[in-house]
Homo-oligomer: A and B are copies of this chain.
Amino acid sequence: MIQPVPIRKNDLWFTEYQTDNMRLGLRVTSILKNIKTSYQQLLVVETEQYGKALILDGILMLADQYEFTYHEMMVHLLLCAHPQPKRVLVVGGGDGGCVREITKHDIVEEIFLVDIDEEVIKASKEFFPAVSIGFEDRRVNVFPMDALQFIKERHDSFDVIIVDSTDPVEFAVGLFEASFYCDVFRALRKEGMVIAQTESPFTNKELLSHTYRQIASVFPRADLCWGAMPVYPSGSWTYTIGSKGPDPHIVRRAPSGTTCYYSPEIHQAAFVLPPFVQELLKENAES
């Protein structure tokens, strides 16, 4: 008797090259979208580990299961600390995760989102309804255009700016430079504050130091904070805050609705840096 060949399951993996020497593999059950937009390769896959995932130019941007850690930190650290955050701008962030968190603050009157790639917004609305839900809020205005240009043209216009950028590749390189933060400074009102994602303290030390220095050279006050982000390289992520005045440690309000990662206590703990991260900022100050 001939033994039948056993049926095998698909063994399909998405691989992210997090550095030249480290890669993350996630088992994929289906490929939901894979297109070349005007700006980048956009891939949406269903993963076993983290649910649906959005990948731009090979970099994992968003995964359903733990996007909250990143989006809650990017938004609530500033919106709970700014005295009067009436007008808020998100740079990048086309998935809508930051916008969703901003809508948890009743004090906010107008939300602006500027993302160069409209296809990201479309893909998020199609595949990540729990993330893109914020776009339904009547306070939201979307500008599909180059953020560098958008910011340059606005003066004294926003209370809070959230720089939810991709890694510094191609069109996003400018978002990590002092000239951009000079424009951000001008676009902010009195008491304005900016927060930017500044990558991992373990695998992106140079970029972290560099961007912190750029922000500290433009704003009278710069603070680094950090938190867990399991789907990004090394699992820890940093956020740099530039402020025209307000102390970001002071928690003035809470978001309405539930949060899974953020709390007033996490807000304080986020500013507690291990000695090796403090050293990164010092080395930097000396160079």
Contacts and interface: CB of A to CB of B under 8 A. Distances in A.
A263 B269 CA distance: 13
Interface stretch (A18-26, A88-96, A175-183, A216-224): A18-26
Count of chain copies: 2
A265 B261 contact: no
Contacts of A24: 22-25
Interface in A168-203: 200-203
Contacts of A236: 228, 230, 235-236
Interface string A105-130: 00000000000000000000000000
A202 B66 contact: yes
Contact of A27 (B13, B21, B266): B21
Interface string A230-246: 10001110000000000
Interface of A: 13, 15, 19-27, 47-49, 66, 68-69, 200-203, 228-230, 234-236, 258-263, 265-266, 268-269, 272, 274-276
16 contacts: A15-B25, A21-B27, A21-B49, A22-B25, A22-B27, A23-B24, A49-B203, A69-B274, A202-B230, A228-B235, A229-B235, A230-B234, A230-B235, A234-B235, A260-B274, A266-B274
